[in-house]
A and B are shown apart, each in its own frame.
Chain A
Amino acid sequence: MRPSRKRIWGSDAKSLSGRGPPVNNFLEILVVGIGNGATYAMLGLGLVVIYRSTGLLNFASGELAMFSTFIVWTFWNLGFPMWLAILGGMLGGFLIGVLVHKVAVSPLGDPHERPLAVVIVTIGLFLGLNGAAQLIWGTVDKRLDPWFGVSQITVGGVAIAWQKIGAVVVLFVMVLLLWALFKFTKVGLSMRAVASNSESSALCGVSVQNMLMLGWGMAAGIGTLAGVFSAPNLGLGTNLMQLTLVFGFAAIVLGGFDSILGAVVGGFVVGILSSVVPQYITVFEKMPLAPAFILILAVLLFRPQGLFGSKDVARV
């Protein structure tokens, strides 16, 4: 559970510095930032889906993503094609998410009434999933090939890895699917209803618990993709998502806890900031996490609802 040196970077931005002319260098760092940002946005989407349905910040979502990425690796290692392995991992993540909600989360009741219970339970899940992954897959990092290969294209003198483009495309497809789900389907409507007023929706015949379970499952499934895109860079170990989780949180803090668009915009902003800032401010050289942290703090202090979130209305 200790971060090794390799993972401290959280991105491969540093390895690019000092190469090529300065302008291209900046653009390349930017590209890396966008690629990382897409990953943060994916994890952020999972967090948003859970927050929207249950009002809960899921501290275990990174570990859930890590766990299901190991499932992807297992299928892939058995010789399945990558897309099938990823589907398998997403399905596995979905089932675990459903199970977690059923067993551990739903008995807790309203998360904002008992925040410590939520923190403890999700942290318990964090430990448990991490331990389970260690037990099943060992402590040696696994290698997961990039989904979109290692090749890159050069646009205007800037090398862009297909993997990064793939991450952005996958992110947008996912956002589109989520948007369509919430906008056009009965299930999506029910989920929105449960999020906005669970009692009334229960009276209208919506099964609240099933919708929440679905939310958890979906979030875990989406998180899998974040893991799949992080693993080739960082090495697939049980620490895979621990830093990414903080970046993902920073993304949704900035975007607003309940906004899908916000998670995407926030993810990209955080990705770019954490790649670019350490290049120019030497104090942050070894901690790309610091700009994200300052962002979290500043947004929570001065605009707690984020850029796109809806404001909390406190009833006295």
Chain B
Amino acid sequence: MKSLRGVGPVQSVLWAIALVVLIVLPFTSAPFRVEQYITWMTIAVAAGGLNLLTGYNGQISVGHGALYGTGAYTVAILVTDAEWPLLPTVIAAAVVCFMVGVIIGLPALRIKGLYLALVTLAVATLFPLVIEQFSDLTGGSGGLTLTSEQLYRGSIRDRRVKWESPIDGLASDQWKYFIFLGISIVCFVVIAAIVKSRVGRSLVAIRDNETAAEVSGINVSRTKIITFGVSAGIAGIGGAMFALNKGQVNPTSFTLTLSIYLLVAVVLGGASTVIGPAIGAVIYGVFIDVIAPELPETLESATPLILGTLLVAQMLMAPSGIVGWFHDLTEKVSRRRQGGGKQDKNVDVTVTTHEVVAETDLETDPGGFHP
């Protein structure tokens, strides 16, 4: 059954389709749609980072919107005030958020579970207020527009940043799309590498039983703090992409709602699966940007209601999310094909819940969703 860890035929077809769609999409969509796709990518990346913390390591954060916002403001300030070139600011945002994440991770060593959710919820609520408080740096409630010194009509002026495509035939929005797609893919490759490494297995071990993990020689404190940092750093990259995409930042973009949506993306797509958060982010994006505006006006304000109901229903009926559900499905099919041999039953149960756990032979509750 180890072959499941590799890519099965169904999965490889799906991956190929996804890749083709990702490449073709910007050429068949209007520029405003392409910008929306980039926004979905930023959410996907941040949700991927959150998943590392909440899905794999079991530390619940309802405050990743604040880290996303920190990343966005880092970029905005560096570009506008310090005149940095655009792309290096993404790395700076990751570093800044990593450090912020480590600082938040310290108290999280003692504050766990629901209480950590409570503290991070407070962080998310506080963030826009902090931005308004330090308006000298952040522009307060008016926000910041990303400007840089550009040559304009013979003189150098502060102008709004823009993305000029160096390739003929590629519009600026398409160029931007591919840059951000590249960054997103790198982020997800990094996440996948972490998850599949020894470190990733220790994350899961800590989530499932901290004491047992400590006894097996994992440095629990260090791992948890660094996970918080890395998760925050990735969320910061998402925020940095957001700032570079929109060209402006505003405290109203980084409220509690954003943190909630990041969590929604993780859970909807499938916590503790690498690609789940991306799928969740896309579904959420389609829902908000494509479906909701098409609805009649009375139903448009019903989107949070529908989303909330979906979320509760999903948590009760399919707690492992879309990817988890898909795994269950392919699992069932392949079992039926093999005639349901006795010996793979033990493995099956673990594999269906968490693919990572299957490889590590950790004891885990097979039926439940273990945050």
Q: Closest CB-CB distance, B102 to chain A, in whole Å? A: 16
Q: Which residues of B contact A23 (CB under 8 A)?
A: none
A2 to B125, CA, bound (A): 11
A231 to B123, CA, bound (A): 24
Which A41-100 residues have a C-beta within 8 angstroms of B? 56-57, 59
**A127 with B307: CB separation less than 8 A:** yes
Q: Which residues of A contact B256 (CB under 8 A)?
A: 1, 242
**B133 with A116: CB separation less than 8 A:** no
Interface presence of B38 (CB below 8 A):
no
Interface presence of A8 (CB below 8 A):
yes
A283 to B60, CA, bound (A): 29
A289 to B125, CA, bound (A): 8
A131 to B301, CA, bound (A): 7
Q: Which residues of A contact B316 (CB under 8 A)?
A: 104, 107-108, 121
**A117 with B315: CB separation less than 8 A:** yes
Q: Closest CB-CB distance, B103 to chain A, in whole Å? A: 11
**B119 with A121: CB separation less than 8 A:** no
**B133 with A285: CB separation less than 8 A:** yes
Q: Which of A28-36, A189-197, A293-301 contacts B (4 or more CB under 8 A)?
A: A293-301
Q: Which residues of B contact A121 (CB under 8 A)?
A: 311-312, 315-316
Interface presence of B137 (CB below 8 A):
no
Q: Which of B13-21, B106-114, B150-158 contacts A (4 or more CB under 8 A)?
A: B106-114
Interface presence of A128 (CB below 8 A):
yes
Contacting residue for B305 out of A107, A111, A132, CB 8 A: A132
The A interface is mostly helix, strand or loop, or mixed, namely helix
Contacting residue for B301 out of A125, A135, A253, CB 8 A: A135
With A111-B114, A301-B110 known as contacts, the answer to whether A289 contacts B126 (CB < 8 A) is yes
Q: Closest CB-CB distance, B66 to chain A, in whole Å? A: 12
A59 to B312, CA, bound (A): 13
**A301 with B107: CB separation less than 8 A:** yes
**A128 with B304: CB separation less than 8 A:** yes
Q: Which residues of A contact B54 (CB under 8 A)?
A: 116
Q: Which residues of B contact A130 (CB under 8 A)?
A: 304, 308
**B129 with A287: CB separation less than 8 A:** yes
**B122 with A293: CB separation less than 8 A:** yes
Q: Which residues of B contact A301 (CB under 8 A)?
A: 107, 110-111
A128 to B308, CA, bound (A): 4
Interface presence of B223 (CB below 8 A):
no
A250 to B260, CA, bound (A): 20
Q: Which residues of A contact B312 (CB under 8 A)?
A: 103-104, 121, 124-125, 128
With A116-B60, A123-B62 known as contacts, the answer to whether A57 contacts B307 (CB < 8 A) is no
Q: Closest CB-CB distance, A103 to chain B, in whole Å? A: 8
With A2-B257, A125-B312, A301-B110 known as contacts, the answer to whether A287 contacts B130 (CB < 8 A) is yes
Interface presence of B349 (CB below 8 A):
no
With A115-B371, A123-B260 known as contacts, the answer to whether A2 contacts B304 (CB < 8 A) is no
Closest B residue to A290 by beta carbon equals B126
Closest B residue to A298 by beta carbon equals B107
Interface presence of B42 (CB below 8 A):
no
Contacting residue for B260 out of A117, A127, A134, A139, CB 8 A: A127
A289 to B119, CA, bound (A): 12
Interface presence of A165 (CB below 8 A):
no
Q: Closest CB-CB distance, A199 to chain B, in whole Å? A: 20
Interface presence of B236 (CB below 8 A):
no
**A287 with B114: CB separation less than 8 A:** no
**B306 with A119: CB separation less than 8 A:** no
Which B114-161 residues have a C-beta within 8 angstroms of A? 114-115, 117-119, 121-123, 125-126, 128-130, 132-133, 141
Report how many residues on chain A are interfacial, defined by Cβ distance under 8 Å.
58
Interface presence of B263 (CB below 8 A):
yes
Q: Which residues of A contact B267 (CB under 8 A)?
A: 116, 120
Interface presence of B197 (CB below 8 A):
no
Interface presence of A19 (CB below 8 A):
no
**A134 with B115: CB separation less than 8 A:** no
Q: Which residues of A contact B301 (CB under 8 A)?
A: 131, 134-135, 138-139
Interface presence of B278 (CB below 8 A):
no
Interface presence of A246 (CB below 8 A):
yes
**A126 with B260: CB separation less than 8 A:** yes
Closest A residue to B125 by beta carbon equals A246
A296 to B116, CA, bound (A): 11
**B115 with A304: CB separation less than 8 A:** yes
A207 to B118, CA, bound (A): 30
**A289 with B122: CB separation less than 8 A:** yes
Contacting residue for A116 out of B125, B255, B271, B307, CB 8 A: B271
**A115 with B60: CB separation less than 8 A:** yes
Interface string of A244-265 (1 = CB under 8 A from B): 0010011001000000000000
Q: Which residues of B contact A129 (CB under 8 A)?
A: 308
**B126 with A287: CB separation less than 8 A:** yes
A243 to B128, CA, bound (A): 12
Q: Closest CB-CB distance, B255 to chain A, in whole Å? A: 6
**B129 with A127: CB separation less than 8 A:** no
A118 to B310, CA, bound (A): 15
Residue among B54, B255, B311 with most chain A CB within 10 A? B311
Q: Closest CB-CB distance, A119 to chain B, in whole Å? A: 5
Interface presence of B248 (CB below 8 A):
no
Interface presence of A186 (CB below 8 A):
no
Q: Which residues of B contact A118 (CB under 8 A)?
A: 114
For this complex, 17 residue pairs linking A to B, each with C-beta atoms less than 8 Å apart, are A1-B255, A1-B257, A3-B255, A108-B315, A111-B114, A115-B114, A116-B271, A116-B371, A119-B62, A119-B263, A120-B263, A129-B308, A131-B307, A284-B133, A287-B126, A296-B119, A300-B115
Given contacts A127-B311, A128-B312, 12 further A-B contacts (CB under 8 A): A56-B114, A116-B54, A116-B371, A117-B315, A126-B260, A126-B308, A128-B309, A138-B301, A249-B122, A290-B129, A296-B119, A300-B111
